[in-house]
Amino acid sequence: MCFSATASFSAGGVLLGIGALTLKAARRPCEWAFAAIPLLFAIQQLIEGVIWLTFSADTPLLNSVMTHAYSFFSHVLWPVYLPMAVLMIEPSGGRRRTLKALVLAGSAIGIYLLYVLVAFPVVSRPTGQHVEYDSPHFFAAAVMTLYLLSTTLSPLLSTLRGVQVFGALVLLSFGAAYYFYATWFISVWCFFAALLSTVIYLHFAWRPTQRGGSHQMAGFTDQP
């Protein structure tokens, strides 16, 4: 699979449009955070497109700024933001307690990784047709476990079918990216997750209508 500035900018451009449609489809303020996920992924992909350009333009300062901006999304934002966004749209019920615990776990990981980003330099380099992000991670196994739980288990625990589908696809993409692209895992998994965030638009577009309550697509119906 080939990745490049063109791929990142193309994905970012498409997700900007999908993100706008998703926000428009959100009906309540509590849904806005989850609906904004494709738009946030669009910004992240556009940032990586700029990173690609810095390699050939030989602009180390811009490369460093964009690398840290991208790493803020991948390391800090997602483990905090995603479980919080899922919690905000979760109906009242027993699963909210577990989701709150995942929000706390994700916030702890986000704060720790923010410290790592500030205290230690993050370097991006082109290797083959991918971007490799190199930064020190202490307690890597524990951090990765809590990161994965906060970003994938939280949507899987949702009682909303479309949110569950998104979580399952993101988890599958994690396995594929780690198995086939371990050296470039951060870049590749974020790229896959960005494309899969289009499912969030389907979650809002194919949910029950306000009048009749009938579902437009059975695969995205909410669980009772």
d(CA 170, CA 164): 10
Please give the pLDDT value at position 190.
63
d(CA 152, CA 188): 16
Quote the DSSP letter at residue 74: I
Average pLDDT, the chain: 83
Secondary structure string (H, E, C) spanning 102-124: HHHHHHHHHHHHHHHHHHCCCEE
Statement: residue 199 has pLDDT above 90: no
d(CA 87, CA 100): 7
The pLDDT confidence band at residue 2, using thresholds 50, 70 and 90, is very low
pTM equals 0.84
Statement: residue 132 has pLDDT above 60: yes
The size of the chain, in residues, is: 224
**127 or 116: whose pLDDT is higher?**
116
Please give the pLDDT value at position 216.
40
Statement: residue 120 has pLDDT above 80: yes
Please give the pLDDT value at position 159.
92
Please give the pLDDT value at position 58.
82
Range in 60-69, 174-183, 212-221 with the lowest mean pLDDT? 212-221
The pLDDT confidence band at residue 113, using thresholds 50, 70 and 90, is very high
Provide the sign of the torsion angle of the four alpha carbons 54, 56, 59, 64, taken in this order: positive
What integer is the mean pLDDT of 153-157?
93
Angle (CA) 120 148 27, round 5° = 110
Please give the pLDDT value at position 138.
66
